[in-house]
């Protein structure tokens, strides 16, 4: 009996220790943060089961989860999700690289700024998804056209954020670097881009959901494999569960992508003041 008590003592001590209390507080904060979503899902399930609406108009949330599990087991969901993610992320990375390069060029060169600034100013507010028929005429219905329209919609926030970030770098940093004999190339890579990185990341965080949204829309409009195409097919066959399952899948994927981008931002900007823990009185 003494041995059993000695074995359980560390566990009991841990349950009463400060670490366990901190874990409970963290779980409580997460529960409070997610409470609106939990309430919404409970309300969804309650209304769907109340008989106020037909299952076609609003299937139960548990039924949607069962449909997602079935699609996952059959392999349909992994294939559709993989195709959607491939197009969205390919368009995002192309937009990131090209947008940062163009933004730096516009911020550093009067000639680039003179030529591209009116184009960016006019093109940013235009609903660029309207160019989809033209892209289809030029490139067809394949992945190239879908990725192209994703890039066309996603690059503008990256360009504008990069221009603002580079132009907002403190002049003292630039003067100090030049006084040490830093070349223009080194000045761009070692001073301007790191100093502008917080603003650039803001543009990338805006761009990532846009790339996913436009990717879903192109699949709905152009067909093929993907979550958007699966939702469009389900809608044509009056498959309400399939449509709502696609909505839930998109919401989860979008949330995961946004959280991963936030974690990457915190990792890369650990040196920046925004990453510092707030002081408490």
Q: Say if 55 falls within a structural domain.
A: no
Q: Assess whether 211 and 269 both reside in one domain.
A: yes
Please tell me the least confidently modeled range out of 79-88, 125-134, 167-176, 234-243.
Answer: 167-176
How much is the pLDDT for 23?
Answer: 66
Q: Say if 42 falls within a structural domain.
A: yes
CATH at 175: 1.10.3720.10
> What is the SS3 assignment for 178?
helix
Residue 149 pLDDT grade (very low, low, confident, very high; cuts 50, 70, 90): very high
Percent of the chain, pLDDT > 70?
A: 86
Q: How far apart are CA 27 and CA 159, in angstroms?
A: 39
How much is the pLDDT for 33?
Answer: 75
Q: Assess whether 108 and 185 both reside in one domain.
A: yes
How much is the pLDDT for 269?
Answer: 80
Q: Say if 29 falls within a structural domain.
A: yes
Q: Say if 219 falls within a structural domain.
A: yes
Q: Assess whether 43 and 145 both reside in one domain.
A: no
DSSP annotation of 191 reads I
Sequence-distant (≥ 6) Cβ neighbours of residue 124 within 8 angstroms? 156, 160
The residue with greater pLDDT, 78 or 170, is 78
Q: Assess whether 20 and 134 both reside in one domain.
A: no
* pLDDT at 20 > cutoff 70: no
Q: Say if 114 falls within a structural domain.
A: yes
Residue 187 pLDDT grade (very low, low, confident, very high; cuts 50, 70, 90): confident
Q: How far apart are CA 150 and CA 257, in angstroms?
A: 16
Most confident range (mean pLDDT) of 80-84, 164-168, 268-272 is 80-84
Q: Assess whether 221 and 259 both reside in one domain.
A: yes
Q: Assess whether 81 and 125 both reside in one domain.
A: yes
Q: Assess whether 7 and 110 both reside in one domain.
A: no
Q: How far apart are CA 45 and CA 96, in angstroms?
A: 40
**Sign (positive/negative) of CA torsion 11, 15, 18, 24?**
positive
Q: What mean pLDDT comes out for the span 9-23?
A: 58
Alpha helices in 51-75 (DSSP H): 61-74
Q: Assess whether 37 and 116 both reside in one domain.
A: no
As for how many domains the chain has, the answer is 2
**pLDDT, tens digit, 9 for 90 and up, residues 111-148:** 988 999 888 888 888 888 888 888 888 888 888 899 99
Q: Assess whether 212 and 176 both reside in one domain.
A: yes
* pLDDT at 217 > cutoff 60: yes
Residue 92 pLDDT grade (very low, low, confident, very high; cuts 50, 70, 90): very high
Q: Assess whether 155 and 88 both reside in one domain.
A: yes
Which of these three, 29, 50, 71, is where a domain ends? 50
* pLDDT at 1 > cutoff 50: no
Q: Assess whether 117 and 254 both reside in one domain.
A: yes
**pLDDT, tens digit, 9 for 90 and up, residues 220-249:** 888 778 898 889 888 888 889 999 999 999
110 is in which domain, residue-wise? 61-275
Q: Assess whether 8 and 99 both reside in one domain.
A: no
Q: Say if 281 falls within a structural domain.
A: no
Which of these three, 50, 71, 86, is where a domain ends? 50
């Amino acid at each position: 009996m003494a041995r059993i008590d000695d074995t359980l003592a560390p566990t009991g001590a841990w349950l009463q220790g400060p670490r366990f209390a901190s874990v409970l507080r963290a779980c409580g904060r997460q529960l409070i943060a997610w409470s609106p979503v939990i309430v919404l899902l409970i309300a969804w399930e309650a209304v769907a089961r109340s008989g106020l609406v037909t299952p076609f108009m609003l299937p139960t949330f548990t039924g949607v989860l069962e449909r997602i599990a079935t699609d996952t087991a059959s392999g349909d969901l992994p294939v559709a999700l993989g195709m959607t993610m491939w197009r969205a992320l390919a368009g995002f990375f192309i937009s990131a690289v090209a947008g940062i390069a163009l933004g730096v060029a516009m911020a550093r060169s009067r000639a680039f700024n003179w030529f591209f600034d009116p184009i960016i100013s006019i093109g940013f507010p235009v609903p660029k998804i309207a160019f989809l028929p033209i892209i289809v005429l030029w490139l067809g219905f394949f992945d190239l056209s879908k990725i192209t329209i994703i890039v066309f919609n996603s690059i503008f926030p990256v360009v504008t954020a990069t221009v603002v970030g580079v132009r907002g770098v403190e002049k003292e940093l630039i003067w100090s670097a030049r006084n040490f004999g830093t070349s223009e190339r080194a000045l761009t890579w070692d001073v301007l881009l790191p100093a502008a990185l917080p603003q650039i990341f803001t543009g990338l965080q805006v761009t990532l959901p846009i790339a996913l949204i436009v990717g879903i829309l192109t699949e709905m409009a152009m067909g093929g494999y993907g979550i958007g195409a699966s939702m469009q097919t389900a809608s044509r066959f009056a498959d309400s569960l399939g449509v709502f399952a696609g909505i839930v899948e998109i919401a989860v994927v979008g949330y995961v992508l946004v959280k991963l981008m936030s974690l990457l931002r915190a990792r890369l900007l650990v040196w920046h003041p925004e990453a510092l823990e707030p002081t408490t009185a």
